[in-house]
A = this chain, B = another copy of it.
Amino acid sequence: MQKKSNGMSYAPKGKAEPVCARGEFPVGVIGLAHGHIYGMCNGLSEAGADIVRVYDPDPLKVKAFRDLFPSAAAAESEGEILEDQRIKMVASAGVPDTRGPLGLRVMEQGKDYFSDKPPLITMEQLAAAREARARTGMKYAVYYSERLHVEAATLAGRMIQEGRIGRVLQVIGLGPHRISLDQRPDWFFDRSRYGGILVDIGCHQIEQFLFFTGAVDAKVLQSKTANYRFKQYPGFEDFGDATLVGDNGATQYFRVDWFTPDGLGAWGDGRTFILGTEGYIELRKYIDVGRSKEGDHLFLVDREGEHYHSAAGRAGFPFFGELIRDCLDRTDKAYSQAGFFKAIELAITAQRQALEVE
C-alpha cells in the first residue's frame, strides 16, 4: 500500500486487522518532528483508523508524510485539527518538550491524545496532564514502541500471562541506539527539549518493566547519565542506566546508550532478559547479532528445555486495535492510563536523581 521510504523505516509492518468501520475513528496528526509518527499512524491505520488531517510548521515534513498517508489533508494550523469535530484522536511526534502542552490542548477539546514517547519531559507537565485527564476523562496514550510495536515483546507478554516462567523477578533491558549524527535536528542535542536520555529512551525500558512484572509503582534506587563521547554537544547524554524495585518486589536494571557501532545490521541490538522463578526469556528484538538481520527472536528456557521462537509476522501488534476500541468504548483494556503516566514519571525521577559519570 504505502511505499517504503525513510519515514516507513520507523513503521513496523503488521497485518491489517480493523477493529472498527471505515470512517469510525478519524485521527488528526500534529507534529512530525520524529519519524515515530509513521509507526504510530501505520499501527493505527492497520487497526482501522483513518488519518484525516496533518499539521506541522515544516511544509517539507507535511509533504513527506502525505506521500505515505495521502488520506491526510494538510491543515493550515494546529487549530484546524483541534477544532475538527470529526477527529476523535490527535497523534503527535512533535519535539518532546511540546508534547505535554499539546496534550492539554487536545484533551480540552474533548479528544483523546496519542503521544510519541517521551509523552512529556517534566514533573510539572506530568501534573498538568494528570489533572487534565482527570477533569476531561480523555485519554493520554503513549507510543512506547519498544514494547508495543515489537512482536517478540507481544509474544513475551503472552507467555508471562500464561505463567510460563512463573513469578517474574527481574527485567533487564539493553537499549542501544545508533546516533546517525548527520540526520539529527538541533533539539536532539538540547536536554531542555528532549528531556535527557533516561526520559527520552529510558521510559521505554521502565514501561516494559512495569508491564512484564505487573508492578503498579516502583522506586528508582540508582541511576546514571554520561556524555562519554559526544562532547562537542554539551547538552547531550550518550549513556544512561537505572535500577528500580517494584511495589511487588521485582527489580529492574536497564541501560540505554547511543553507541550502536556502524557495523551492526540494525539500529540497535535491543535485548530484554526476563527472569522468573520457573524459567527465563530473552528477546533479541531487532537483530540476532552475527546470525540474522531479522528481528523478533525469543528464547525461552524452562524446566523442559531451551525453546526458540521467531515472533516476526506471527505475534502481531494488538495494542493499536485495543487502543482504538478503548477510545470508542471508553474502556481501559489496552493499557491503564496510570501505566502510561507511571513509566514517564519514573523516567523523570531517574533522570533527576542521576549520578553524572564521565
A residues within 8 Å of B by Cβ?
167, 169-170, 172, 174, 176, 221-222, 224, 226, 228-229, 239, 241, 243, 245, 249, 251, 253, 255, 257, 259, 261-265, 269, 273, 275-280, 282, 289-291, 299, 301-308, 355, 357-358
Whether A307 lies near B280 (C-beta < 8 A) is no
A176 contacts which chain B residues (CB < 8 A)? 275, 280
Closest to A297 in B: B290
Task: Check A221/B251 contact, CB under 8 A, given A170-B239, A275-B257.
Answer: no
A228 contacts which chain B residues (CB < 8 A)? 167, 169, 249, 277
Q: How far is the CA of A308 from the CA of B263 in the complex (A)?
A: 13
Q: How far is the CA of A273 from the CA of B278 in the complex (A)?
A: 24
Task: Check A280/B302 contact, CB under 8 A, given A170-B239, A357-B251.
Answer: no
Q: Measured between C-beta atoms, what is the minimum distance from A124 to chain B in Å?
A: 28
Whether B289 lies near A169 (C-beta < 8 A) is no
Q: Measured between C-beta atoms, what is the minimum distance from A342 to chain B in Å?
A: 19
Q: How far is the CA of A36 from the CA of B273 in the complex (A)?
A: 28
Q: Measured between C-beta atoms, what is the minimum distance from A238 to chain B in Å?
A: 9
A interface: dominant SS: strand
Q: How far is the CA of A167 from the CA of B229 in the complex (A)?
A: 10
Q: Measured between C-beta atoms, what is the minimum distance from A24 to chain B in Å?
A: 43
6 A-B pairs with the lowest CB-CB distances in the bound complex, closest first: A222-B222, A263-B305, A290-B308, A290-B306, A261-B279, A262-B303
Whether B265 lies near A306 (C-beta < 8 A) is yes
Q: Measured between C-beta atoms, what is the minimum distance from A344 to chain B in Å?
A: 22
Whether A251 lies near B229 (C-beta < 8 A) is no
Q: How far is the CA of A303 from the CA of B304 in the complex (A)?
A: 39
**Cβ-defined partner of A243 (8 Å) among B222, B275, B290:** B222
A307 contacts which chain B residues (CB < 8 A)? 290
A262 contacts which chain B residues (CB < 8 A)? 303
Whether A243 lies near B245 (C-beta < 8 A) is no
Whether B306 lies near A263 (C-beta < 8 A) is yes
* A226, A241, A280, A358 pick with most chain B CB within 10 angstroms: A280
Q: How far is the CA of A253 from the CA of B280 in the complex (A)?
A: 19
A301 contacts which chain B residues (CB < 8 A)? 261, 263-264, 269, 289
**Cβ-defined partner of A355 (8 Å) among B174, B245, B257:** B245
**Cβ-defined partner of A259 (8 Å) among B172, B229, B277, B291:** B277
